[in-house]
């Protein structure tokens, strides 16, 4: 895929690894493009059911490549945002496997993923205010959706770091692992997702994301055609049939 991003398929899971260890996996424009290309592959390949985003050599991502920024380069891609992810997440579930630093844009990448598995040594934070910047790649929007609003405001205004233990306590991190085992924890979580019907999984994610913007009075009207499209699928019939026949379902994705 790229010297900056390594992509590997393990079973039904696509692992996307940011591979700039000397820069603590900081993101420049080329890295954003490589991640975007990998996410396109995640959504395009039917045998892939879930993705994992991680970083090499003990760090998730230290944010924007400040040297590239000073040189006039923008890491954001038009229509896709920072890391090729923050403005257009994939349709399939994406899990962040976090070791070490997930700071600034790195924290925003983790928050743009659907689920977070973190090693106990991981540290999250939006320190942009300490650099005269604003966390404009979704961190200020997504953090208060994951943790209590007042706590999110404190971290955003102080720029202080949040430990993985605290992030798990506040509900931002789904699963904690020992140091060095975040990818194993993410693979186990991805396998639990990949065992389910792919159409139903994608639609479940879509409804839960889009429902945040639905007017309360219109929730059922807006959800009904989306849910009905899955009820009428071959996989829905297969799921019911497999249950009655006491066997594992064979999903066809249609």
81 and 50, same structural domain?
A: yes
Do 67 and 186 belong together in one domain?
A: yes
Considering the domain architecture, whether residues 13 and 104 belong to the same structural domain is answered as yes
What is the structure's pLDDT at 253? 86
Specify the pLDDT at position 89: 97
Same domain, 104 and 188: yes
Whether residue 99 is found in the same domain as residue 168 = yes
Give Cα 154 to chain centroid, integer Å. 23
In a domain, 252, yes or no: no
Residues 80 and 160 in one domain: yes
CATH value at residue 73 = 3.90.226.10
The last residue of a domain, from among 179, 194, 209: 194
46 within 8 A of 8, measured Cβ to Cβ: no
Q: Are residues 214 and 140 in the same domain?
A: no
What domain count does the chain have? 2
* pTM score of the predicted model: 0.94
Q: Which residues are catalytic?
A: 108, 128
Question: In terms of domains, do 114 and 205 share one?
Answer: no
Give residue 127's domain range: 5-194
pLDDT of residue 69: 86
Position 1 scores a pLDDT of: 52
CATH number, residue 212: 1.10.12
Domain shared by 125 and 164, yes or no:
yes
pLDDT in tens, the chain (254 residues): 569 999 999 999 999 999 999 999 999 999 999 999 999 999 999 999 999 999 999 999 999 998 998 899 999 999 999 999 999 999 999 999 999 999 999 999 999 999 999 999 999 999 999 989 999 999 999 999 999 999 999 999 999 999 999 999 999 999 999 999 999 999 999 999 999 999 999 999 999 999 999 999 999 999 999 999 999 999 999 999 999 999 999 999 88
pLDDT score of 195: 96
249 exposed, middle or buried (CB, 10 Å; 0-12, 13-18, 19+)? middle
Assess if residue 250 is contained within a domain.
Answer: no
Confirm if 48 and 94 have CB atoms less than 8 A apart.
no
The reply to whether 97 and 167 lie within a common domain is: yes
If asked whether residues 42 and 106 sit together in one domain, one would say: yes
In-domain check, residue 123: yes
Instruction: Please check whether residue 206 lies inside any domain of the structure.
Output: yes
- Same domain as 239, residue 175: no
Is residue 254 a part of any domain in this protein? no
């Amino acid at each position: 895929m790229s010297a900056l991003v390594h992509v590997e398929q393990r079973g039904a899971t696509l692992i996307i690894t940011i591979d700039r260890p000397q820069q603590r996996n900081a993101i420049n424009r080329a890295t954003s493009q490589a991640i975007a290309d990998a996410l396109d592959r995640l959504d395009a390949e039917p045998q892939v059911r879930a993705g994992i985003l991680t970083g090499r050599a003990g760090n998730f991502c230290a944010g924007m490549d400040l040297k590239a920024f000073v040189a006039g380069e923008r890491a954001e891609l038009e229509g896709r945002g920072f890391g090729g992810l923050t403005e257009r997440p994939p349709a399939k579930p994406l899990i962040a496997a976090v070791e070490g630093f997930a700071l600034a844009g790195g924290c925003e990448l983790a928050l743009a993923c659907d689920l977070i598995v973190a090693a106990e040594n991981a540290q999250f934070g939006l320190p942009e205010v300490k650099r005269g910047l604003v966390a404009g790649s979704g961190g200020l929007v997504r953090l208060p959706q994951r943790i209590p609003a007042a706590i999110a405001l404190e971290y955003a205004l102080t720029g202080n770091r949040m430990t993985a233990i605290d992030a798990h306590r506040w509900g931002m991190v789904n699963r904690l692992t020992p140091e060095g085992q975040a990818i194993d924890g993410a693979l186990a979580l991805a396998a639990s997702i990949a065992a389910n019907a792919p159409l139903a999984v994608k639609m479940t994610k879509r409804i839960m994301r889009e429902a945040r913007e639905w007017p309360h009075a219109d929730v059922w009207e807006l959800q009904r055609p989306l849910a009905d499209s899955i009820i009428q699928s071959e996989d829905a019939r297969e799921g019911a049939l497999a249950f009655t026949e006491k066997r594992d379902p064979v999903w066809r994705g249609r």
